[in-house]
Amino acid sequence: MAKRRLLTGDRPTGPGHLGHYVGSWENRVRLQDEYECFFIVADFHVLTTAHEDTVPIRDNVRELVLDYLSVGIDPTKSTIYLQSLVPEVAEIFLLFTMFVSVPRVQRIPTLKDVMRDLEIEVAPLGLLSYPVLQSADILMVKGEAVPVGKDQLSHVELTREIARRFNSLYGPVLPEPEAIVGRVPTLPGTDGKAKMSKSLGNAVFLSDDERTVERKVMGMFTDPTRVHVTDPGHVRGNPVFAYHDAFNPDRAEVNDLKRRYRAGQVGDVDVKWSLGQALNDFLTPIRDRRRGFASETGLVDRIIREGSDRARSEAAKTLAEMKRAMQLDYYGSAAVQSPGAAGQSGRSREGRETR
């Protein structure tokens, strides 16, 4: 039986961090055999907040693919591809914009968060329609499962609405995807802010070296009410312990530290020191794999090209089906056939006649 489809991805804005890992990436690795997986490097999405300086995108694409490989995403099992190499996504997006009202996207919480964090006063149309483009990403390969961080749930919800709307108007073409949230839905930043994020400058990157990790951990925000080591400390809401919970496999040690912290019997420096060790133990194999992949000339380019060809042929199929359902295929497909779309126009004619 054909496997169910999974699609998720990231914007290439910089190196991946611990929040990406627990929010979504470890789920991807885990689900790679169970699902037919597509991982999108969403470079068009970067433009929604940074269209002026496009130069860094190219390197960030490469870094993101190296991140994927280093955490264990296997390009022989899964498809890793670049959004801008699949132009069908723009056409699917265009069709979707008809189904979504402006107030509907204005209500999406990520929009307000991004505008606040980046101090954007007036949202460009592209930023407003960010989640609609994301819906096109998901539905163009008929993604049914979408592993994402908690902040992305509202985007998956919109995707479901779009799919329902399409299907009820034109017939059952699109699946209603389900989000899969990671075991740590939102990892706090090193500064104690609710969310780890590169743009907030509070992230520990998967590619950070050991010393950098130690330095970031030693500088972490902790219980602000605690002045002396003997003061009873707060474990809940303390990011140092949130990271211990997420990354330290030695549960006995974590429980012991928590107990002593609450009792005022262990200092922040000790708790942080053991966290630094745990994080470095976790990151060492990831760093090693990364170094190996980075040294293979042409590897990343080849993965992107092959993956994008494959994603494109799937997107072309979905788009042809959508247009057929919408009876928009009156002149067949476009004159210049995209890979995989060959033969679609012939079949679509028949499809229409039998309706």
Q: Which residues bind ligand TRP (CB under 6 A)?
A: 7-11, 40, 42, 45, 134, 137-138, 146, 148, 152
E-strand spans in 130-192? Answer: 145-148, 178-181
Tell me how far, at minimum, the Cβ of 21 lies from ligand TRP, in Å.
13
Q: Which of 247, 256, 303 shows the shortest CA–CA distance to 276? A: 247
Tell me how far, at minimum, the Cβ of 29 lies from ligand TRP, in Å.
16
Q: Which residue has the tokens 């489809």?
A: 5
The answer to whether 113 and 150 have CB atoms below 8 angstroms apart is no
Tell me how far, at minimum, the Cβ of 134 lies from ligand TRP, in Å.
4
Residues 108 and 345: their CA atoms lie apart, in Å, by 37
Name residues whose C-beta falls within 8 Å of residue 249's C-beta, 6 or more positions apart in sequence.
278
Tell me how far, at minimum, the Cβ of 42 lies from ligand TRP, in Å.
4
Nearer to ligand TRP, 40 or 279 (CB): 40
Nearer to ligand TRP, 152 or 344 (CB): 152
Nearer to ligand TRP, 108 or 271 (CB): 108
Nearer to ligand TRP, 45 or 324 (CB): 45
Tell me how far, at minimum, the Cβ of 153 lies from ligand TRP, in Å.
11
Each residue of 199-226: b (16+ CB within 10 Å) or e?
eeebbbbbbbeeeebbebbeebebbeeb
Tell me how far, at minimum, the Cβ of 146 lies from ligand TRP, in Å.
5
The answer to whether 184 and 23 have CB atoms below 8 angstroms apart is yes
Nearer to ligand TRP, 40 or 66 (CB): 40
Residues 145 and 164: their CA atoms lie apart, in Å, by 16
Please state the φ and ψ torsions of residue 158, each to the nearest 5 degrees. -60, -40
User: Under DSSP, is residue 106 helix (H, G, I), strand (E, B) or coil?
Assistant: helix
Per-residue tokens: 289: 């794999």
Nearer to ligand TRP, 11 or 216 (CB): 11
- The residue sitting closest to ligand TRP, measured at its beta carbon, is 42
* Pairing relationship of beta strands 36-41 and 178-181 according to DSSP bridges: unpaired
Q: Which of 236, 239, 207 shows the shortest CA–CA distance to 220? A: 239
Exposed, middle or buried: residue 69 (CB in 10 Å: 0-12, 13-18, 19+)?
Answer: buried
Tell me how far, at minimum, the Cβ of 185 lies from ligand TRP, in Å.
13
Nearer to ligand TRP, 89 or 341 (CB): 89
